[in-house]
Amino acid sequence: MQPEAVMTGKAGGGGNRRLAFFLAVLRTHPSFAFGYAIVATVIVLAVLAPWVAPFPPEVADPTAFLQPPGWPHLMGTDATGMDVLSRVLWAPRIDLSIAILGTLLSAVIGATLGALVGYYQTMGRVARFGAGFVMRAADVLQAFPVFVFAIALVAVFGQSLQSIVLAIAFVNAPIYLRLMRTQVMSIRTMRYVEAAWLAGLSDGRIIARHIVPNAMAPVLAQLSVNVGWSVLLTAALSFIGAGVKAPTPEWGSMIAMGYQNIVTGHWWPSIFPGLALAVTVFGFSLVGSSIEVLSDPARRRRLASRLEAVRGGAA
């Protein structure tokens, strides 16, 4: 069986072949498997939080404030008496929702503009002017420090979940714009694109069917990385009081509420949410690295050839 058949699943049982190839890649890259395990665990715990959290996340018990980790509060309680474990489990429901929505919105806006700019920027004076205007606007957005720019956007739109989503979309959109533009500029000169143009296909169909699908590898890889980064940005905004309002369970606000007690030896209200945040961001970065490999046809072929050689040697 040819490596390409193993990779694409054309040799029968397409879905099973692709799944087998994916699992083989995870076996040869343990870090990728570790990243998927982290992300899957965080998502499952977030979904099951209403059933697995031992206490309500926003109910304070004044008689149990700042209790150390133990029974029945396995991660202790914070200065208001709320259970830290329950809030840690509930927090990703907010953080991941904001991060995923903001990242997807930024990808749609940035990738769409990048595809249009990369395809049309050499087609006439008007197109060059429009492309130049879009790129200079992206330069202006990226000239601002990301965190400061996000704070300014939240201040303009108001402190709400929608404002944080819009802030994430604005600060991330130029990244996808540049990634897609670079890819499209290199792909649009390929022979199969020229053949499609000579065959009479419209620009829209050429972009949608022949250019964008082959330009998505870095965009898909960046998506996972940006989700982790957006979780971090959401937590940072909440930490300084510009994001999710307390007592909503959110990792950044939990760290902000608990760090003041570290000097008195009460470390658990901020350390546990901080560790959860760090592990989640790390997991998404590993998933992004794996997607970059799996989305690149050349890398997939090399991996398929290597796996086929390993199987042949074992046989």
Q: Is 306 helix (H, G, I), strand (E, B) or coil?
A: helix
Q: Residue 272: what pLDDT?
A: 93
Q: Residue 1: what pLDDT?
A: 40
Looking at the DSSP assignment, which residues form a beta bridge with residue 83? 77
Q: Residue 12: what pLDDT?
A: 43
Q: Work out the end-to-end distance of the chain between its first and last CA atoms, rounded to an integer number of angstroms.
A: 14
Q: Residue 289: what pLDDT?
A: 81
Q: Residue 313: what pLDDT?
A: 59
Contact 107, 219 (CB under 8 A): yes
Contact 165, 98 (CB under 8 A): yes
| Cα–chain center distance at 165 | 13
Closest CA to 177 of 120, 115, 105, 101: 115
Q: Residue 219: what pLDDT?
A: 84
- Say how far apart CA 303 and CA 4 lie, in whole Å: 10
Q: Residue 146: what pLDDT?
A: 80
Q: Residue 48: what pLDDT?
A: 93
Domains of the chain as residue ranges with CATH: 3-314 (1.10.3720.10)
Burial class (CB in 10 A: 0-12, 13-18, 19+), 214: middle
pTM of the model: 0.80
Q: Which two tokens stand for residue 204?
A: 């829209």
pLDDT in tens, the chain (315 residues): 444 444 444 444 455 767 777 777 787 778 888 999 999 999 999 999 999 999 998 888 888 888 899 888 899 898 888 999 999 999 999 899 999 999 999 999 999 888 888 888 777 677 777 878 888 888 888 777 788 888 888 888 777 888 888 888 888 899 999 988 888 888 887 787 778 777 777 777 888 887 888 888 788 878 888 888 889 888 888 888 888 877 889 999 899 888 888 888 889 999 999 999 999 999 988 888 887 777 666 666 777 776 676 666 555
Q: Residue 152: what pLDDT?
A: 84
Q: Residue 151 corresponds to which amino acid?
A: I
Closest CA to 258 of 275, 243, 282, 234: 275
